[in-house]
């Protein structure tokens, strides 16, 4: 009897105000046939319910995601964009099922937190957020077309709470230290145009000789700006993160991911890629 091929879980984690739509150009047909993509809508995003107010921090959403991964029970590779890179870093530092982290433009230093600093410091946040939602509708904002639709569905208080939490964790050095000390394999993806990560963060990565992939001419959204190059780089990164594992390290379920991770009230969807 032919043994069923076991796939590896790759969790694609979107950024602040975004949704799983940001990963629409990352498809199994691009040479990812050995992987199963899991694309969660984070709490308060993509129409998903927010976390309870007391848990509405990046640590809270990291616990939410860790619960979801542990409920599936399979080894996982984490690919996080922007805020998702911070979440992947936090989960990767504490979840034994994580086998590797690909951080895509995740803030490392305060110079990377321009939008979240403005959000966290706004005296009239409701007015600021309404203006922000309007601004990303225009090409001049640098945001891809889908982002305006995603941020229109994001919960305003969640956006504010995550912004404040991000600034606090980055400003105190928690995120940069945690990322640099991860025990699992890592690769940091960044664009080198003006809206990519700061020069100070690039220097931080270089000084510590942390593995990186530079997307020349891309900015904050390399998976959208350069989808083919991004797919090739992601294939290489994932391949470098696992040896020839035995079957015990490749467990997979044919069931769709649960929409209600353990011990969390959020009803955020965990949509599996159909591509």
Using one digit for the tens of pLDDT, what is the confidence trace for 6-26? 789 999 999 999 999 999 999
Asked whether residue 1 is domain-assigned, the answer is no
- Structural tokens at position 20: 């799983």
Looking at the domain assignment, is residue 24 inside a domain? yes
* pLDDT at residue 243, rounded to an integer: 63
CA 111, CA 197: separation in Å to the nearest integer?
8
Is the per-residue pLDDT at 272 higher than 90?
no
User: Is the pLDDT score of 205 beyond 90?
Assistant: yes
Tens of pLDDT, residue by residue over 138-171, are 988 889 999 999 999 999 999 999 999 999 999 9
| Digit-coded pLDDT (tens) for 43-94 | 999 999 999 999 999 999 999 999 999 999 999 999 999 999 999 999 999 9
Query: Would residue 2 count as lying in a domain?
Result: no
Q: Considering all CA atoms of the chain, what is the largest pairwise distance in Å, rounded to the nearest integer?
A: 66
Q: Any residues with CB less than 8 A from the CB of 77 and at least 6 apart, and which?
A: 8, 9, 10, 11, 35, 98, 99, 100, 101, 102, 238, 241, 242
Q: How many domains does the chain have?
A: 1
Burial profile 46-62: b = 16 or more Cβ within 10 angstroms, e = fewer? bebebbeeebbbbebbb
Residue 245 forms part of a structural domain: yes
> What CATH number is associated with residue 58?
3.40.50.1820
Domain hosting residue 65, numbered range: 8-272
Question: Is 3 a domain residue?
Answer: no
Q: Are 208 and 215 in contact (CB under 8 A)?
A: no
Average pLDDT over residues 125-132: 97
Strands (E), the chain: 8-13, 35-40, 76-81, 98-104, 186-191, 212-215, 270-272
- Top pLDDT among 60 and 275 is at 60
CA distance 68 to 84: 15
Q: Is residue 71 part of a domain?
A: yes
Is residue 190 included in any domain, yes or no?
Answer: yes
Please, which pLDDT band fits residue 256 given cuts at 50, 70 and 90? very low
**Element at 163 (helix H, strand E):** helix 156-171
Q: What is the pLDDT of residue 204?
A: 97
Whether 180 is in a domain gets the answer: yes
Stated pTM of the model: 0.88
């Amino acid at each position: 009897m032919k043994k069923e091929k076991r796939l590896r879980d790759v969790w694609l984690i979107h950024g602040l105000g975004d949704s799983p739509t940001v990963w629409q150009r990352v498809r199994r047909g691009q040479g990812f046939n050995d992987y199963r993509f899991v694309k969660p809508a984070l709490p308060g995003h993509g129409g998903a319910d927010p976390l309870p107010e007391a848990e509405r921090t990046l640590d809270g959403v990291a616990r939410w995601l860790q619960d979801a991964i542990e409920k599936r029970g399979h080894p996982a590779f984490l690919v996080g964009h922007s805020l998702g890179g911070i979440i992947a870093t936090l989960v990767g530092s504490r979840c034994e099922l994580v086998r590797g982290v690909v951080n895509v433009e995740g803030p490392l230093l305060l110079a990377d937190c321009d939008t979240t600093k403005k959000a966290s410091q706004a005296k009239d946040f409701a007015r600021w957020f309404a203006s922000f939602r309007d601004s990303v509708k225009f090409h001049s904002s640098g945001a891809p077309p889908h982002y305006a639709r995603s941020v229109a569905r994001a919960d305003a208080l969640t956006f504010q709470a995550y912004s404040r939490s991000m600034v606090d964790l980055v400003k105190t050095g928690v995120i940069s230290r945690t990322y640099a000390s991860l025990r699992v394999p890592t690769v940091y993806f960044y664009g080198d145009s003006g809206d990519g990560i700061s020069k100070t963060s690039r220097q931080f990565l270089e000084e510590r000789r942390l593995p990186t992939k530079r997307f020349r001419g891309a900015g904050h959204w390399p998976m959208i700006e350069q989808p083919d190059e991004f797919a090739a780089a992601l294939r290489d990164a994932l391949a470098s993160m696992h040896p020839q594992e035995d079957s015990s390290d490749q467990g997979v379920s044919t069931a769709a991911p649960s929409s209600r991770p353990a011990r969390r009230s959020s009803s955020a969807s965990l949509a599996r890629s159909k591509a």
